[in-house]
Structures are given as structure tokens and as C-alpha cells.
Chain A
Amino acid sequence: MSHERTKAAAFPVDRNDAELIGDAHPPHWRNPEPDGPYNLVVIGAGPAGLTAAREAASLGAKVALVERGLIGGACVNVGCIPSKALIRTSRLYADMRDAEQFGGDTPKNLRVDFQRAMTRMRQIRQRISHADAADAVASGGIDLYFGEARFAGRDTVAVAGKILRFKKALIATGARPNLPSIPGLVEAGYLSNENMFDLVSCPERLLVIGGGPLGCEAAQAFCLLGAKVVLAQREPMFLPGEERDAAQILSDALAREGVEVRLNTEVVAVRTKDGKKFADMVRDDETTTVAVDEILTGIGRSANVDGLDLELAGVAYDTAGIKVDDHLRTTNDLIYAAGDVCLEHKFTHTAEASARIVVRNALFRGRKKLSELVVPWCTYTDPEIAHVGLYPAEARKNAIPVKTYTILMHDVARAVMDGEEEGFVKIHVKEGSDRILGATVVASHAGEMINAVSLAIASGMGLSALADVIHPFPTQAAGIKMAADAYRQARLTPLRKRLSDRWLAWSRR
């Protein structure tokens, strides 16, 4: 087993983890007895499954929720929550290191206490997980079953020896990290998001493979926590798909922190010798080798479709996951899917939003569409990189002329005060109008700032109207309004200016 060849301990690592298990998969849980058909059987108690089950139950539906592992899914246990908790500690160390920049003193002999950082992360994870404890779920009127779910037919699911009949079902089994295909990596042992939070000591030298969101966040956090990090990315830029300038700023930030950035670089083989892992990396036609203590992969996730007997239910799937239409219905019209198991954008918030669509469509004959969702996303590096809507290249591909209003964070007063002036706000509008097509924000709190643009897009508000929204001063989110002000300014054509000048001159008479 590859994980045993890493420095990660076995889960549960400490008392916090044991308590988390007590909440999220109580050892002595007794599954309920099914009593007639359910309105909705939900398979998987991650963000999508929990959201759907709760919403359906609150509307009076008879709901069963089936979970084989821990309630909360990847997000709370091995995803967003532990990673962002750890990132907070890494930012603390960055701030202590840079204390002089903020008018303070850097502590002498600044030493990273990795164990303390991990313990805090486990405490937070346990605390947040507690809100979704098994008892709390059951007390919300949901029949909670622990066990492996298998479809036994078009309208039945078997779990732990019980047969659940349903009118509608939701598959929300999530996704897991891809098994890496790099020769020797499995044998050498590697970290993924599933076991990296079980580390008890910080790897001295860490190779991160993949410069997507997970890879970039982890590389920066581990670097700030004291690891010597090499980040290898196959593509010419990090976060492929994001805007070039965003990726550029991130690349600079990573390098400035001390991450060894290797772009256009593919890891082709891994081997072990004397307890060290050696990774061969190819850039163009040159091969180099790095020796590290641990290797973390952040390349891709695969849908959890195995073992569900989807064929018996007539539910089609492929390597991208369960096939759904725009209403999230599978090839069995009684069965829907939501979250990572079927979506391209594998985020907690899209999982939850898609689950709400399913409740509406499955139980109330709704016609809500996935494609109508306005989905922002954010990579939690420092600076953060958040996006919503279309990218300029996408707009241009669809023959939509696009113009971008850009505000540099170094022109946002609060960002200067906070010493967080790296980044920008870019709002893309359809040329000649104020229709907002999309936005990218690169800033220390981009994830918070993007919400104003998401709201504007979702409510059909134009950029001009956004300029009238008063923002408290000083805030970093004022950068959004400043972009709207720039739009207003640019609309002041010479003709309008002349007319205005003439009117004001006349008024002075």
C-alpha cells in the first residue's frame, strides 16, 4: 500500500479525529428499518448529498441518506476545510516572517511547530464536522444508513442487508484523487489530499506534482511551513484555464516565497533509494532528477462510480463520471446525480447548488438547469485567484466583443494599508454595453471580493449600476466598485464631455 511508505500516520491521528469519527460515522450506529418507499434516496453524505437530503426533508419528503465512510465527504474530511485551516497557519508564519513590513518585529528564532498547526487543523475539522453529526442529521427527519449502497434495480437500493425502494434517487458519491500513472510512484509511496492531512511531521523536501489549485495551494502552504518545495507543472503556466496575468502573478508569488517553480516540466519516473525518493523530470528534451522526502500529487479526480451496480439501474457513466442532462437527470429518469460524481467543476459550492436543482427537479417536477448557474471559484493561494462567468477568450470564441476594466490592487487604498496590494480586479463586459460577462480577481481576499460580481451577474445588474453601489471605505472590495467607476469614466465620450462642459458653462452665467 503506497500510503504506508509516506510519513503520514494512520487516520485517526489524534483525539480530535476520534471525535470526528464519533460524529461522522458512529461505530455503534443502528441503521433504521425502511418503512415503505422513499421520496428520495440519496447516496453519499458529502456536500451534495447532505444539502439535498436536508432540503428535501425540510419540505416534507421522506428521505434516506446512505454513507459508506464519513459524513461530510471530501470537503470537510480531506478537502477544503483542513486545507484552508492549514493555509491560515502558513499565512501566520508568512506574516511573522514579514512582520517588519507591517511595522512589527519578526520573532527571533522563528520556528515552525508543524504538529501544532496540524492539531489546530484537526480541531477545526472536528468542530465543523460536528454540525453534520449523524445524530443531527437523523434528528432532521432523515433516515441515515451507513454502508455500501448498491442499486438492485431501477428503483431500489440495497444497503447493509436492507432494501430501500425509492420514487427518486440522487447519486452524490463524489470523486477521489486519480491514481497516478507515473512509473514507480505508487511503489515509492505518495501523498494526496486523502492522506496529506495525516502527516505528523513536515517533509523536509517535498515535490508537488501538478500546478492546479490543489498543487499550488499545497506548495505554498508547505513552503511557508518550512518544507523545501519543488512544484512541477506540465503546462507553461499554473492554473491552466485561468487568465495569463493571474497565473503570472501566482507564479511570481510562489517563487518569491521560495517554491522552486518548474514549468513545462513532466515527472516521468520515481524510484526510492536509501529512504529517499528520486523523481526524474523532463523539460523539453532535458532530464533532471530531484531527491525528496515526500511526493504530493494534485492531478485530477475520478468520479466514484464503482461498486454501485449502476448497470442494474440503467445509469450510464464514463471516465468523466455519471452522464446527466442539463436537469441533472441520469439515463434512468428516476435517478439524478449531483456534485463531483457528475460535474466538471468539482467544488463544494457547485455540489450544493446542483443538489438544490435536483430537489426541485426530482421532487417538484422543476425544470431548473445546471447551465443557468453562475458559478464562481477560487484558488486559496496568497494572493487568492477567484473567477466567475466567462473568460475573455471564451467570449471571443463565441464572437462576443469583450472589454476588460482592470483595477490594480495597488490602487485600492485598503489593500495598500493592509500590505496586500498584489493582484487585480478584472471585470469583463460586452463591448459597447455594461453587461458583465465575467470577472477575475487576484487579491489576498479575492474569494470574498468576487461575490459582488457573482451577485451582479446572477441578478442581471450591469457594471454601470454596480458603480452606484456604495461600498464602505476603506475596504478591499472597493476594487470592484473602482472597476465600475472606470467603466463610467471611459463612457464619458468627448461628445458627452463637451455637452457637459457647455451646460456647466451656461449654468455659471
Chain B
Amino acid sequence: MPRVEPAALSDDDLLERYQRAAFGYFLETVNPQNGLVADTSRPNSPASIAVVGFALSCYPIGVERGWMTRGAAAKLTIAALRFFWTSPQGSGDEVTGHKGFYYHFLDMRTGLRVWRCELSMVDTALLIAGVLVAGAYFSQDTKEEAEIRELSEALYRRVDWRWAQGSSPTLRQGWKPKSGFLHYGWEGYNEATILYVLSMASPDSPTSDDSYAGWTATYQWENIYGYDVLYGGPLFMHQFSHAWLDLDGIRDAFMREKGSDYFENSRRSTYLHREYARRNPYGFEGYGENLWGLSAGDGPGGFRTSVERRRHRFSGYAARGAPFGPDDGTIAPWSYPASLPFAPDICVSALRHMGDRYPEVIDNFRLPSGFNPTLANRRKFGRHGWVSEGHYGLDQGIVVMMIENHRSRLIWDLMRSNQHIRRGLQKAGFSGGWLEQPAASSKGGRDVA
């Protein structure tokens, strides 16, 4: 097949190619027996529960776009939902989860906890968000789709969100069998809005009513580079909850006070990242108008070295942020499609720049977790610098979802029709905009495939 020159494609075609390439990740890495999806495409990667949440959200997109049949999507969805419903829960070893939450990483085959990882609250929330997308999308009157809806509701209701508050208003980040709750707190705005919305809306074990206010009390509203923003350093913090929640035009108490909303905040934060790259205070290679975007993702590894007589410390997988750092010159190029709905012009422009200037980084329209042109021809790195090996499911999932929200609003509309989501937003104090209108019926009835 002749190579497609990205420059020759229209914006729509370009986005379609990137979206489809990212979507392919899920079909390539899913275990059809249990619906688990690998964290990365690297050999022996375990499954990540958050990636499963993204996968469950992407299947309906695949159906609507004609990349898979509804039947195939339903089959993979049922496999995952049945697995999570029937896999062992408990506080001991050899389990998949506890209290309705799940361990962050699971064995692809057995589904049991690996790496002594933590029971993860936010990753469970991303999984459950995907579970609710499935429940909303598969609305047809068939035995299979009815089972999806039942399991979706049951999995959501089983999560003991109240337990995850511990003795504080805010939710704990994680839990381990021997040491109990991890004592890392949530400080400042981040990707957890979806976690709070889901936890507050729970019919059976909601968090206390002060939980969301407890979190937002730590927000910091700042004027940086002339932008008024609710600060969150890495871009993914401005994207992940937004993949499911349409936060355009609805406001909680904090945003009412500031006269803004979270959608607008993500737009400004995207511009702020670009502005940081323009200023490029640490002199990293390539940074500028069309190369920006620091986020959580893979990195070149933990080492210290001088570049152009400046000392830098490089990291492996880490959350990078602007403008306060950390920044080691590693760009997360999937940030462009992931911020597309907020700032389409600059995102498309950056995406095109990637294709023109760094084609070697892109694998057939699939974007890596990160790349670092500053390291070109340094240490063991080649002329392209460092490029993350393989692909990460989180990155591919957010790419598929945000391009779709930009193109058709599919996921936003599905979730807007979900009563749990509406109730969660309302309990968190959101009002105005679409929340004032009655819920539209789900789009899952459409049968495109």
C-alpha cells in the first residue's frame, strides 16, 4: 500500500486516520476471553483497568464509524463486564479487586493483581465510566445487550465509594492489602472530576456530600502568562474526565465564582502549554508554536546529563507539567488529539507539524506515548532522539474518544443521557447549560454497522 502523506489529507481525513489507528490498538491487544486490554503494546504487558474503561468507551465509536460490527463490540464488552462481575474480590491475595474497586494492573490471562500494585480509585472510576458508556450505548432489546445493561448497572452499584473516603472528605488515591489506604492526598485540580461525579451519584454507597467541596477547596485559580486558569500541570488532567463529561457551559460553585467553566479551562490550559513551549525556558529542542504538550507518559529513563551546558534530569514514565515542571524535553504528542475539542486550531496545527517534522515518531498514524528530540545523537540515542517504544492504551483511548467528541459528540451525548452522571454532577453542585434540560434518550439505538 502506498504511504499516505499526512500533509495531503484534509483535516477530517487526517483526524479519521489518527482516530482509526488509535482504535486499532484495542482490537490488537484485547484478550477476547475476558475483555482485558493490555496497558501497553510491549510484550508481557499486564492489563490496565483504566485502559479497559477506555476500550469499553471506544467500541461504540468503532461501531458508529463502521470499524467493527455491533455484535463484535457487544461480545468484547460482555466478556469484560462478565469478567469484572465474576472475578474474585476481597482483601486477601489472588484477587482482582476489593469493595467493588479493582487493582490497577491485572494479569492479562488470569485477571489477578500483578506487581503488588495498588487498588486504584481513579483508575476504577475510568473503568466504571467505560462500563456506563457500554450500558448507555447497548440499548437494544436483545438478550445480549440487556445483559450488558444489567452488568453495567451492577458493577457501578457494587463500588463502595464511601469506604474509599477513609476518614476524610476526599477520596483516597489507593489502597494496599498490607498498608491500607495510601496516604497520598488529592491536592489541587486534576483528572479526578469523573471519580467524584461517579462516587457522589452512587445509589448504594455514595461519598459524603462534602467530598467534592473537600477536593475543590484545594483548587488554585491563577493568572499565568496572562491566562486565568485553574491550574493543573500535566495536560491529561484537563482531558481525562472530559472524555466522558461534557463540561461545556455547566458550572460548579468554584466555576460560578470564577465566571468560567471546565471546558473553557481546558482550552486555556492548552494554550498555556503552547505558550510555555514558545518561551521554552530550558532550551529544549524543537519546542515552539507547534511542538508543545507535557503530560503523564513514558520517558527516556532516569538519568542526569548536561545538554548544551545545562544540567537536566530525565525521567522514565512520569507526569510532566507546564509551567512548573517537571520538564525534561519529552513531548506527549497524543495531547493534540486529546485536546482537540477545546482548541481545535492549534491542536490540528501541532498534529500536522508532527507529521511533517517528526514522521519517524508516528507509526502509521499511531502516536507514541512520548518522544524527546533534545536527546538526538546524545548518549545511546539515535538521530531522532528518544521515542517511546510501542504504544500505551491510555493514550490511544483518549485519542479515539476526544477525536470522536470533536467530530460527533457521541460519548458526551451518551453520558449526558445517563442518570447517574447527571445526578453526580448535580450533587457536586453543577448547574446551568445542558443540565437544565431534560435528559435526551440514548443514541445507542442507532444501528449503523
Residue numbers of A with Cβ under 8 A of B are 98, 100-101, 235-236, 243-245, 248-249, 252, 255-256, 258, 264, 282, 284-286, 392-393, 396-397, 401-406, 408, 410-411, 421, 424, 426, 431, 486-487, 489-490
Set of chain A residues within 8 Å of B218, measured between Cβ atoms: 393, 396
Bound CA–CA A401/B310 (angstroms): 40
> A286 touching B116 by the CB < 8 A rule?
yes
- Kindly state the interface size class of chain B when it binds its partner: 35 or more
Q: Is B299 an interface residue (CB 8 A)?
A: no
Question: Can you name 14 A-B residue pairings with CB atoms under 8 Å?
Answer: A100-B309, A236-B183, A249-B325, A264-B182, A282-B179, A285-B177, A392-B220, A396-B219, A403-B221, A404-B221, A406-B224, A421-B281, A424-B323, A431-B257
Set of chain A residues within 8 Å of B183, measured between Cβ atoms: 235-236, 264
Bound CA–CA A402/B223 (angstroms): 11
| B contact face: mostly helix, strand, loop, or mixed | loop
Closest chain-B Cβ to A105's Cβ sits at a distance in Å of 11
Interface residues of B in 50-64 (CB under 8 A from A): none
Set of chain B residues within 8 Å of A397, measured between Cβ atoms: 217
> B228 touching A490 by the CB < 8 A rule?
yes
Q: Is B209 an interface residue (CB 8 A)?
A: no
Set of chain B residues within 8 Å of A243, measured between Cβ atoms: 220
Q: Is B178 an interface residue (CB 8 A)?
A: yes
Q: Is B444 an interface residue (CB 8 A)?
A: no
Q: Is B187 an interface residue (CB 8 A)?
A: yes
> A404 touching B223 by the CB < 8 A rule?
yes
> A404 touching B309 by the CB < 8 A rule?
no
Closest chain-B Cβ to A438's Cβ sits at a distance in Å of 12
> A411 touching B223 by the CB < 8 A rule?
no
A256-B313 CB under 8 A given contacts A285-B177, A408-B323: yes
> A264 touching B324 by the CB < 8 A rule?
no
Set of chain B residues within 8 Å of A487, measured between Cβ atoms: 223
Instruction: Report the 7 A-B pairs with minimum CB-CB distance, sorted nearest first.
Output: A410-B281, A285-B178, A256-B313, A285-B179, A100-B309, A404-B222, A245-B324
Bound CA–CA A248/B178 (angstroms): 28
Q: Is B326 an interface residue (CB 8 A)?
A: yes
Q: Is B311 an interface residue (CB 8 A)?
A: yes
User: Of B118, B279, B304, which one neighbours A284 at CB under 8 angstroms?
Assistant: B118
Bound CA–CA A411/B311 (angstroms): 20
Set of chain A residues within 8 Å of B222, measured between Cβ atoms: 403-406, 426
Residue numbers of B with Cβ under 8 A of A are 116, 118, 176-179, 182-185, 187-188, 217-226, 228, 231, 233, 257-258, 279, 281, 304, 306, 309-313, 321, 323-326
Bound CA–CA A393/B215 (angstroms): 10
Please give 4 more A-B residue pairs, beta carbons under 8 A apart, in addition to A101-B311, A403-B221, A490-B228: A98-B311, A284-B176, A397-B217, A426-B222
Q: For residue A264, which residue of chain B has the nearest CB?
A: B184
> B309 touching A101 by the CB < 8 A rule?
yes
Bound CA–CA A101/B182 (angstroms): 41
Closest chain-B Cβ to A439's Cβ sits at a distance in Å of 13
User: Of A245, A286, A393, A405, which one neighbours B217 at CB under 8 angstroms?
Assistant: A393
A236-B184 CB under 8 A given contacts A98-B311, A406-B223: yes
Bound CA–CA A426/B188 (angstroms): 15
Bound CA–CA A255/B312 (angstroms): 10
> B176 touching A255 by the CB < 8 A rule?
no
User: Of A236, A286, A406, A421, which one neighbours B185 at CB under 8 angstroms?
Assistant: A236
Bound CA–CA A282/B178 (angstroms): 12
Set of chain A residues within 8 Å of B312, measured between Cβ atoms: 256
Q: For residue A411, which residue of chain B has the nearest CB?
A: B279
User: Of A244, A284, A401, A486, which one neighbours B257 at CB under 8 angstroms?
Assistant: A401
Bound CA–CA A481/B227 (angstroms): 18
> B220 touching A404 by the CB < 8 A rule?
yes
Bound CA–CA A256/B178 (angstroms): 33
User: Of A249, A282, A393, A490, which one neighbours B223 at CB under 8 angstroms?
Assistant: A490
Set of chain B residues within 8 Å of A249, measured between Cβ atoms: 324-325
Bound CA–CA A485/B190 (angstroms): 29
Bound CA–CA A249/B281 (angstroms): 14
Closest chain-B Cβ to A422's Cβ sits at a distance in Å of 9
Set of chain B residues within 8 Å of A284, measured between Cβ atoms: 118, 176, 179, 182
Bound CA–CA A411/B278 (angstroms): 12
Set of chain B residues within 8 Å of A255, measured between Cβ atoms: 313
Q: For residue B312, which residue of chain A has the nearest CB?
A: A256
